[in-house]
Structure formats: C-alpha cells, structure tokens
Amino acid sequence: MELAVGDWTEIQVPIKNASSNQLTGLLTLDVPKGLEAEVYALSNTTNVKHMVHVGFNTWMFTAEGGSSYATAINGTSGDMLHIVISVDDDAVPGYYNISGLIQQVSY
C-alpha cells in the first residue's frame, strides 16, 4: 500500500482461539522510524478483549475460548486486532516494512 505524509491505513488481523480456555496474547511490531502504529480492539468485541499497550510497539490482549474458524474467516469485528499505521510528518520518502509477532504468553 502507498501512503504519504499525513495518511493512515488500518489493517485487521483475525484472532481465533478454538480452545475452550481463555488465552493471553502478545503482539510485537517492528515499526521503522517514520511510521507509527497503534493497535486496538473494539469495545463491543466478543473474542478479543482487554487490549493493553505494555511497551514500545507491544500490546497484550486476551482471546476468549471457543471461537470458530468461520467467525475468524468471516472477520466479525469481535475477532479482530485493528492495526492503524500512519506516516510521521518528518518521514523520509521510501519503502518501509512492518513485521510483527503474535505469541501466547502465560499471565
């Protein structure tokens, strides 16, 4: 995707927890200088809850158990992490990559 200074875009990542137990996840993004990222879950979610910014480009969340494959694939908003990417005013023109990791952690 192409963005200019002042632009932003949102990426939605489906989260599915087919286990019957709740899990705690940690999302870490590698965001280059010149870009900013924010992550949120909608307040009326059914699956992804308790989104907390815990460090530099790191967020912790819980995923309720029992979500189905169909829900994650169809992308209901309750099963999504919303990642908003914006371009800083002082960003150098060029190509940028954002990578990340989602992992289950004990809490």
More confident residue, 15 or 67: 15
Q: Is 78 exposed, middle or buried (0-12, 13-18, 19+ CB in 10 A)?
A: middle
pLDDT at 94 over 80: yes
Among 3-7, 51-55, 94-98, name the one with the lowest average pLDDT: 3-7
pTM, two decimal places:
0.83
3-state percent helix, strand, coil for the chain, nearest multiple of 5: 10, 45, 45
